Amino acid sequence: MKRASAVAVLLLVVALFGGVVEGKVYEKCEVRALLKAGLKKSTDTTIEKIVCHVSQSSNYDSSVVNTVNVTQDDGSVEKWTMYGLFQITQHFCTGKDGLCKIDCKDLIDDDLTDDIQCVEDIKRTFLKNPTGANKIYREIIPKLFTPNCPKSILSDCD
């Protein structure tokens, strides 16, 4: 009977803590450094816009999940779930079928490697054909590359 109780307690602990995804609250200069290292051919201005977006949308917290309503071209409203530090929509992180080829839960942990690669994939895909971009890109690109950002947002980063 003692063994059965010990097994039950162990299973409870694993169930409660085994699947926990832990995010991290980053510093803005740390985010900037990770972006500079991970994004190919990105200017300081592009990185500044992304850091601004992170500041406004997730407050540098990689575990944030938000839901937003997006009005479609036909007037209907679609609910989008936004994940992680960069608030990437579920349209890009639907496993092997999504643009980023990752599960959305991978965007809410403390490892930003796949998140930054996803940002790179979104940027690269959009830049290939910006005028032919679908609704998802037209909504996410202005958010991800925040145009109205104070110039001084990164002034205290070396």
pLDDT digits (tens, 9 = 90+) for 10-66: 333 333 334 455 889 999 999 999 999 999 889 998 999 999 999 999 999 999 999
Q: Where are the domains positioned within the chain?
A: 20-149
Q: Which CATH number fits domain 20-149: 1.10.1200.10, 1.10.443.10, 1.20.1050.10, 1.10.530.10?
A: 1.10.530.10
What is the spatial distance between Cα 8 and Cα 22, in angstroms, rounded to a whole number? 25
Contact in structure between 158 and 33 (CB atoms under 8 Å) = no
> What's the whole-model pTM score?
0.80
